[in-house]
Amino acid sequence: MGAGFALRDATPADVPVVLYFVRALAEYEKLLHEAKGTKADFAAALFGATPRAAAIIAEADDKAVGLCIWYRTFSTFTARHGIWVEDIFVEPAYRGQGIARAIFRRLAQQVKNEGGARLEWNVLDWNEPAIGTYRAMGARGLDQWTMQRVDGAALDRLAE
């Protein structure tokens, strides 16, 4: 962690903050039209009877300035679990202070402490500032892989 910020696990009281940052990230990525999650959705996903994800809140100047949502994955090749970072967002005014790197460090330590093998995430190919940050942390792009997705009407048809 840096001198000017702190990281903590999100609590149920943070659901409005989570929703705010998810929408801020969606707007930054020009995908706000796809951000359909509600407070109730995030409350259930993060704090319901069977939580599906977890969140880290970054705070500075007595307010939330960043968010990371993550969940566990499993690799059949390593036969070990990992962590997938679904979203990470730091308010523009607080970027460059090491907040994102501290979040990734915390998650890397968690993976290692739990005996896991991987810390993974996606980044949009046009997001050069983020890609530069990730390369400086030692991340490598998996260019030979392409992400696949089935959703909406295609998901409905496939499930029939």
CA 122 to chain centre: 9
Q: Hey, CA dihedral for 131, 25, 4, 15, is it positive or negative?
A: negative
The residue from 28, 71, 94, 134 that is catalytic is 134
**Does 94 qualify as catalytic in the annotation?**
no
Burial class (CB in 10 A: 0-12, 13-18, 19+), 40: exposed
Strand segments (E) across the chain: 6-9, 54-60, 63-75, 80-90, 118-121
Which residues are tagged catalytic? 134
